Amino acid sequence: MNTISMDINEILEYLPHRYPFLLLDRVVSLKVEKEIVALKNITINEPFFPGHFPHYPVMPGVLIVEAMAQAAAILSFKTMGLKPSDDSVYYFAGIDSARFKKPVFPGDQLMLKVKMERIMRGIGKYTGQALVNDEVVAEASLLCTLKVVK
């Protein structure tokens, strides 16, 4: 099985998100139908830090989970052999067992590891972990689905 890596230009082909909501910088490895490892470099210039929190900048947990979902979307599209079209969106269908173990700060490199559990009736189930320096900072089970919106 081939392992795929992707730079930001290829990521942009698979995700409709753009600044400030694109939360992946690189795909380190992707194994179709199996798993993806992606990176997000956290900088003080992130648009959420001035308000979360001005005196103690911490990446919001919901955005860590969103980054996992963006990685899951790329894994799904690569597995299906598709690129998203302008009339489709890959949505959250559910988030279970989300746990936040440590805060993520400016200067951290967030490593996102997402494994595909199954795809059934158009809904993909994934388990995700976010790590900083090989230490789990967040984890969740994700359900996502592809919807036509136009």
Look at residue 1 in the predicted model and tell me its pLDDT: 65
The CA angle 32-35-40, to the nearest 5 degrees, is: 115
Q: Three-state SS across 23-76?
A: CCCEEEEEECCCEEEEEEECCCCCCCCCCCCCCCCCCCHHHHHHHHHHHHHHHH
Q: pLDDT class for 2, splitting at 50, 70, 90?
A: confident
Arithmetic mean of pLDDT, 24-30: 98
127: CATH: 3.10.129.10
**Catalytically annotated residue among 52, 58, 93, 141:** 52
Determine if the peptide bond prior to 54 is cis (ω within 30°): no
Neighbours of 136 (CB within 10 A): 15
pLDDT in tens, 62-92: 999 999 999 999 999 999 898 988 888 889 9
Q: Which of 122, 91, 114 is nearest to 17 (CA)?
A: 91
Structural domains in the chain (count): 1
Range of the domain at 21: 4-148
| Percentage of the chain exceeding pLDDT 90 | 84
Phi, psi of 80 (to 5 degrees): -80, -10
Annotated active-site residue 17? The verdict is no
pLDDT in tens, 77-135: 999 898 988 888 889 999 999 999 999 999 999 999 999 999 888 899 999 999 999 99
